[in-house]
Amino acid sequence: MDDFSLAADLVREAGTLAARMLGEGLETRYKTSVSDVVSAADHAAEDLVVRRLAEARPDDGLIGEEGHARPGARTWYVDPVDGTYNFLSGIPYWCSAVGLVDDEGPVAGAVYYPARDELWLGGRDHPTTLNGVPVERLTDRPLEAISVATYFHPRHTQDPARAASWQAATNASAAVRMLGSASVDLSGVASGRLGLFLQGNLSPWDWYPGAALVLGAGGVTDEVALPGITWQVAGNRQAVADASAALRGAGAPRHEP
């Protein structure tokens, strides 16, 4: 089984397991905040993916959101339930995601969105597909003409520099959407439902699966490093350039006359 077929199987199996467990009832445990939660489904779905990878790709490494890790020639990043707050709140905007990365960057990404039975698959040498059908290639559009899928935690409003850079990019867009799952957002960008993805200090399991899909759809990614935060941006080339310029402009040091 090639990497893409394996990735597709992993996310579909993990997402199906999590959805079944949700229907049977789950307990919630909080991690860092009320909105940062985990359930038995997160752990069970990650365990499933880890077992499959140990059998199918014993020489590869992996890093899972719920704690599994091992070194290897390449690394699989595993997010068994991306959007757990939505998942546990009955909001049908969550997914299971995996991303494969080597020394050159993202190789493959797979995202399964159980609420719509949608599976995105794509990467470096695999044009992105949605349920096996190639998505349209992303074309250049300015930031002012498209939506931005993003997230900004309320506590970060107390950080003036971070808030200023986020506002500079989002204020330049046509619309802002905060939906609660980075990998579904990135899949939406890859398939043209959303215009641009923008978030800061993402964990790699939140970034690489969807970033691979955007690249496989003909888009680009960027990481804009500012003091205290690195913004991850993905979408069509023109919009990413517009957003990155806005972020860097807002984050540039101000000198008093």
- pLDDT mean values, one per 10 residues, the chain (257 residues): 97 96 74 60 92 97 93 96 92 97 97 98 97 98 98 88 95 97 98 97 97 98 96 98 96 50
pLDDT given at position 250: 86
Is 206 labeled as ligand-binding? yes
Superfamily of domain 3-134: Fructose-1,6-Bisphosphatase, subunit A, domain 1 (3.30.540.10)
What phi, psi does 192 have (nearest 5°)? 85, 0
3-state DSSP assignment of residue 95: strand
CATH number assigned to the domain covering 143-251: 3.40.190.80
Helix (H) or strand (E) holding 199: strand 196-200
Is 82 labeled as ligand-binding? yes
User: 246: which residues sit within 8 A by CB, 6+ positions away?
Assistant: 143, 165, 168, 169, 172
Decide: 195 and 148 in contact? Cβ < 8 Å.
Answer: yes
pLDDT given at position 39: 79
Decide: 65 and 203 in contact? Cβ < 8 Å.
Answer: yes
pLDDT given at position 25: 78
Decide: 115 and 108 in contact? Cβ < 8 Å.
Answer: no
pLDDT given at position 23: 87
User: With b meaning 16 or more CB within 10 Å and e meaning fewer, what string describes 207-241?
Assistant: bbbbbbbbbbbbbbbbebebeebebbbbbbebbbb
Is 65 labeled as ligand-binding? yes
Is 223 labeled as ligand-binding? no
Q: Taking the domains of the chain in order of start, what are their residue ranges?
A: 3-134, 143-251
d(CA 198, CA 185): 9
3-state DSSP assignment of residue 2: coil
Q: Which residue has the tokens 């991306």?
A: 82
pTM assigned to the model: 0.93
d(CA 118, CA 131): 6
pLDDT given at position 257: 44
Decide: 153 and 229 in contact? Cβ < 8 Å.
Answer: no
